[in-house]
């Protein structure tokens, strides 16, 4: 089995944390992993992108060619659309519906959502609102990971939950529990549809 995933967002939204959780889960499960990151972290608000290639077989490159990604996980709708050329025809997009307007000529929100709606396999949720309404505003990225979990397939939701425990362990039990709750909110939002 193989899964090619593109993670996208804006600096400060937690994309690299999602990559860390998935990567740690893959390592713990003995799944082969190649990862590459492109980010403008020197300027908060710059675009951030990470590619994750997971496979039960050997992987020789960390790059995902156009038309080959199985999944785009995006913290921001415009960033999700930026990587559409990389998505397989049967691939999935899992994204927040809430824009992060970090440029003066940010596209019209209705047009963005209309473009996403044209895609055959899209899951959209206002993750920032979900996180804020549940008193965990800094965990919107983990809500997004919970939404995407069923589409990752090569790793189970339970393997991702265990990884969350390990990744956040040094921050204390309250932070671990908050992020597990955030993951479950995303998981349940998708699986109850």
**What are 98-147's pLDDT values in tens digits?**
888 877 888 888 998 999 999 999 999 999 999 999 999 999 999 999 99
Which residue matches tokens 């008193």? 135
Any domain includes 100: yes
Predicted confidence band at 177 (pLDDT cuts at 50, 70, 90)? very high
Predicted confidence band at 155 (pLDDT cuts at 50, 70, 90)? very high
Any domain includes 33: yes
Which tokens go with 111? 């047009």
The number of distinct structural domains making up the chain is 1
Domain that holds residue 38: 2-105+118-191
Any domain includes 111: no
Q: Work out the average pLDDT over 64-88.
A: 95
Any domain includes 110: no
Least Cα distance to 48 among 13, 78, 72, 1 occurs for 13
Cβ atoms of 90 and 153 within 8 Å: the answer is no
pLDDT tens digit sequence for 163-172: 999 999 999 9
Cβ atoms of 48 and 10 within 8 Å: the answer is yes
Any domain includes 112: no
CATH number for the domain harbouring residue 76: 3.40.920.10
pLDDT tens digit sequence for 15-73: 889 999 999 999 999 999 999 876 554 455 567 788 999 999 999 998 999 999 999 99
DSSP state of 130: H
Any domain includes 23: yes
Which tokens go with 174? 């309250």
- Can you tell me the distance from the alpha carbon of 99 to that of 179, in angstroms, rounded to the nearest whole number? 22
Residue 12 reports pLDDT greater than 80? no
Q: Work out the average pLDDT over 82-107.
A: 90
Least Cα distance to 5 among 114, 152, 176 occurs for 152
Any domain includes 113: no
Q: Work out the average pLDDT over 140-156.
A: 97
Which residues is 8 bridged to in the sheet?
Answer: 49, 74
Cβ atoms of 175 and 167 within 8 Å: the answer is no
> Is pLDDT larger for residue 176 or for residue 99?
176
Any domain includes 19: yes
């Amino acid at each position: 089995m193989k899964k090619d995933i593109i993670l996208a967002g804006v600096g400060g939204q937690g994309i690299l944390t999602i990559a860390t959780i998935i990567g740690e889960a893959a390592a713990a499960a003995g799944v082969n992993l190649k990862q590459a990151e492109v980010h403008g972290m020197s300027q908060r608000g710059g675009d951030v992108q990470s590619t994750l290639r997971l496979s039960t077989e050997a992987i020789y490159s960390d790059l995902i060619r156009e038309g080959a990604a199985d999944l785009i996980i995006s913290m921001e709708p415009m960033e999700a659309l930026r990587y559409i050329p990389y998505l397989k025809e049967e691939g999935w997009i899992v994204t927040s519906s809430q824009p992060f307007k970090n440029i003066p000529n940010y596209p019209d929100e209705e047009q963005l959502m209309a473009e996403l709606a044209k895609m055959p396999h899209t899951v959209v949720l206002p993750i920032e609102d979900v996180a804020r309404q549940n008193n965990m505003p800094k965990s919107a990225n983990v809500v997004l990971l919970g939404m995407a979990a069923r589409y990752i397939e090569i790793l189970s939701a339970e393997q991702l939950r265990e990884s969350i425990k390990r990744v956040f362990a040094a921050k204390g039990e309250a932070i671990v529990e908050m992020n597990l709750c955030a993951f479950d909110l995303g998981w349940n939002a998708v699986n109850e549809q």
